Amino acid sequence: MSKVAMITGASRGIGEAIARRFAAAGFDLVLTCINNIERMERLGEELSVNNRVFVRCFKGDMGDEETVARIFDSIDGVDVLVNNAGISHVGLLQDMEADDWRRLMSTNLDSVFLTSKQAIKRMLYAHEGRIINISSMWGNVGASMEVAYSASKGGMNAFTKALAKELSPSNIQVNAIACGVIDTDMNSHLTDEEREELTSQIPAGRYGTPEEVAELAYMLAVAPAYLTGQIITMDGGFV
208: which DSSP letter? B
Whether the Cβ atoms of residue 18 and residue 10 lie closer than 8 Å to each other: yes
Residue of 125, 149, 218, 226 with catalytic role: 149
**β-bridge pairing 231-234 and 129-136:** unpaired
Residue 238, SS3 per DSSP: coil
Strands (E), 34-109: 55-59, 80-83
Max intra-chain CA distance, the chain: 52
Q: At what angle do helices 13-24 and 37-51 cross, to 10 degrees?
A: 20
218 is catalytic: no
Can you name the residues that pair with 231 across neighbouring β-strands?
176
Contact 145, 89 (CB under 8 A): no
- Where do the DSSP E strands lie in the chain? 4-7, 28-33, 55-59, 80-83, 129-136, 172-179, 231-234
The DSSP string of 119-175 is: HHHHHHHHT-EEEEEEEETHHHH--TT-HHHHHHHHHHHHHHHHHHHHHGGGTEEEE
Catalytic residues: 149
